[in-house]
Amino acid sequence: MYRFIVSDVSKSGMLPIRAVVALTGLNPDTIRAWERRYGAIEPVRSDGGTRQFSEEDVTRLICLKELRERGYGLQTLAELTTTELTAMRHSQKPTIQTPRPTQPPLSSDQQAYLDSIEELDVGAALARLKEMSDELGNLQLILGVAIPIMWEVGRRWSEGTMGTAPEHLVRAQLKSLMTSRLEQIDTAPGARRLLFTTPAGQLHEFGILAGSVLAKEAGFDVLYLGPDLPTEDIIWSVARSNPDILVLSVVRSMSEVEMQQMERLVDTVSPNVPVWIGCPPDHPLAARIPKAIFISSIEDFQRAAATLLADQGG
């Protein structure tokens, strides 16, 4: 194992990456990815162009590593000062929450699929995905294949061990698979309608895609408008299509202004149309909008949809 020695410290007191690796236990790819993707640290460059880390950079990296293991997202952490990070690290009670339950390890088929993806072997990846999913019903596909793969991709991407190109490829393949499942289901005349979308700036689409497939399979008429729809357009679409429920998804954290827009949206729509919001457990939005129903798992959504059909004699 590399030993940190005094000669690693340059005259200006700066450290090279190998010393930082030894001090933090992080691997060099992760350190570079946290700099590049999140701007979480800002090492200076030597005359020769190599990264030089200050004592503060090292403190930040130690805090980031520990807080990340406690479930915080790097995007949020990267915006905090070193003093705030240090205070969070030493506090018992987390002040922001991005709870993510741990996932079981991937199956060997799923690993092999991601191996093909990492090699950008589109054909082999598609063939493996088809093999894994062909025999599966929609619920098993979503819970057993799509979500575990997305989570693993998210983990690898944020650690810097998967590039952006393979990550795009997975998303494109899973989206196309889920969309084709949605299109394969017929809608009975007179079926109750659910409108699915996400508010402007919320680009995470798989929650509403999964919800749409399962709702359609349960017998609803699904109007799927995709993600990132501005408030006024959501209000217009609801007025125009008159759904039984408006189903939204909010995955990433929201600014104060975005939360106020959501309050206005729900206030406008909910006297006539109930609003369901799929989001991670403990998202701050839930405390702000008592008029909406918050759902944080696919299984809860299925139950709520089945109850709705039963209550309304559907």
In the chain, the amino acid numbered 275 is: V
Nearer to ligand B12, 205 or 221 (CB): 205
**Shortest Å, Cβ 3 to ligand B12:** 33
**Shorter beta-carbon distance to ligand B12: residue 57 or 205:** 205
Shorter beta-carbon distance to ligand B12: residue 23 or 32: 32
Q: How far is the CB of 186 from ligand B12 (least distance, A)?
A: 21
Handedness of CA 73, 74, 78, 84 (dihedral sign): positive
Q: Which is nearer to ligand B12, 171 or 193 (CB)?
A: 171
Pick the closer one to ligand B12 by CB: 112 or 147.
147
**In terms of CB distance, is 9 or 106 closer to ligand B12?**
106
Calpha distance 256→263 (Å, rounded):
11
Cα dist from 219 to 215, 216, 302, whole Å: 7, 5, 12
In the complex with ligand B12, the residue whose CB is nearer, 114 or 210, is 210
Alpha carbon distance 284, 194 (integer Å): 25
Question: Alpha-carbon distance 267 to 291, whole Å?
Answer: 8
Strands 245-249 and 193-197 come out as parallel
Applying CB under 6 A, the residues found at the interface with ligand B12 are 73-75, 98, 100, 147, 150-151, 153-154, 158, 171, 201-208, 210-211, 247, 249, 251-253, 278-280, 295-298, 301
Minimum distance between the CB of residue 61 and ligand B12, rounded to whole angstroms? 17
